[in-house]
Amino acid sequence: MKAIVLDAHGGPQVLRHGELPEPVLKPDQVLVRVRACALNHLDLWVRGGIPGAHFPLPLVLGSDIAGEVVRVGELCTRVKPGMRVLLSPGLSCRQCAACVSGNDNLCRLYTLFGTGVNGGNAEFVSAPEYAVFPIPDQLAFEVAAAAPLVFLTAWHMLFGRAKLEPGEDVLVLAASSGVGMAAVQIARLFHCRVIATAGDEAKLAKALDLGADFVIDHYRQDISAEVKRITGKRGVDVVVEHVGAATWPKSMESLAAGGRVVTCGATTGYETALDLRYLFSKQQAVLGSYMGTLGELHRVLKFVFRGQLTPVVDKVFPISEIAEAHRYLETRKQFGKVVVVPWP
């Protein structure tokens, strides 16, 4: 099969167009013909190499996958050939204490397509049956591929970690990102007041279209000052943070008493300061979040399939232009997801 292969870490030029053997199915696995694969910043980090992390090279990137089932192993009973599906980006052992307790993203063997196993930048991918989700006929493959990782991440951040309550005030950093656009919609769906940040007028307008009640230009305005103005000096109940060092001080300053900052990333740097006096005196919380559980993916996808949450696709590239798609994502000009569509 055709595939985009990562043999060594580096810039977009290291992505090699090549061929690999078609996956050999295990009895509990499904073979999917990839019709669309969304990019994430994770693709950029794995391609470039992450200090302290080891990836099994050669590797096929791509965690967000949608396509058609070609065939199934003899132990599969739920998934049938011909189904239109998307795949859970996360995989686990399904046997350890964390997995059987419903906390599979805490499994010691937890991994993602495109990091620990070959992902969706190929003609075919194999997946365990439990990771396969049938999708509605009206849902385009490009849109389906834009949903799993970011909506799962945002759902776990808001509900699994921050314990969001309807009607709370939520600040979403970088609403133009995949996680940001998902968090805005989820918080709005549950009747929260949403304040979103973005970096230019066009992105701010799109954030309002997605349901944000207020927007802040994080390049030209003081985030915490605007939050205090909007909330009558109170601050917000939850901050959805994934930017890192560049926004962390303002995220903490934006919190109300009893508020929670939940973070899933550190795009601009991972080292920052924390004034413990405010943390304990205001009874605030700082929460880490990584991906989400399979049960949470089932829950959030129901809203996607009903059309109540909408994956935003910014731009679609043919996989022949995969390096250019990576370069485009690196510019941070997008609002929503960048998707590649494989070979005809």
- The full DSSP string for 272-288 is ----HHHHHHTT-EEEE
**pTM exceeds cut of 0.75:** yes
The pLDDT-based confidence of 270 (bands split at 50, 70, 90) is confident
Please check whether residue 157 lies inside any domain of the structure.
yes
Same domain, 160 and 108: no
- Phi, psi at residue 121, to the nearest 5°? -85, 55
Each residue of 144-159: pLDDT tens digit?
Answer: 999 999 999 999 999 9
Rounded to whole angstroms, the Cα distance separating 73 from 257 reads 53
Same domain, 12 and 84: yes
Tell me: do 130 and 191 sit in the same domain. no
Phi then psi for residue 218, to 5 deg, are -75, -5
The answer to whether residues 93 and 199 belong to one domain is no
Rounded percentage of the chain residues whose pLDDT exceeds 90: 94
Within a domain: 9? yes
Region 119-132 average pLDDT: 98
Considering the domain boundaries, does residue 306 fall inside one? no
| 222 and 283 both lie in a single domain | yes
Helix (H, G, I), strand (E, B) or coil at 175: coil
Sign of the alpha-carbon dihedral angle for 108, 14, 340, 35: negative
Clarify whether residues 79 and 189 are in a common domain.
Answer: no
The single-letter DSSP state of residue 117 is: B
In terms of domains, do 137 and 159 share one? no
What is the count of structural domains for the chain?
Answer: 2
Asked if 8 and 99 sit in the same domain, the reply is yes
253, 128: one domain? no
Q: How many residues does the chain have?
A: 344
Q: Which residues contact 302 (CB under 8 A, 6 or more apart)?
A: none
Asked whether residue 302 is domain-assigned, the answer is: no
**Looking at the domain assignment, is residue 281 inside a domain?**
yes
Same domain, 214 and 80: no
Q: Is residue 249 part of a domain?
A: yes
Any idea what the CATH number is for the domain that residue 242 is in?
Answer: 3.90.180.10
3-state secondary structure of 33: strand
Q: Which two tokens stand for residue 301?
A: 């996808």
- Pair (278, 243) in one structural domain: yes
Within-domain flag for 299 = no
Name the residue range of residue 157's domain: 151-288
DSSP, collapsed to helix, strand or coil, labels residue 321 as helix
Question: What is the rounded distance in angstroms from the CA atom of residue 286 to the CA atom of residue 153?
Answer: 16
Spatial distance between the Cα atoms of 10 and 14, rounded to a whole number of angstroms: 6
pLDDT in tens, 289-335: 999 999 999 999 999 999 999 999 999 999 999 999 999 999 989 99
In this structure, the answer to whether residues 98 and 204 fall within a common structural domain is: no
CA distance 179 to 264: 9
pLDDT confidence bin for 269, thresholds 50/70/90: confident
266 has a pLDDT exceeding 90: no
H or E element in which residue 187 lies = helix 178-189
Establish if 329 belongs to a structural domain. Answer: yes
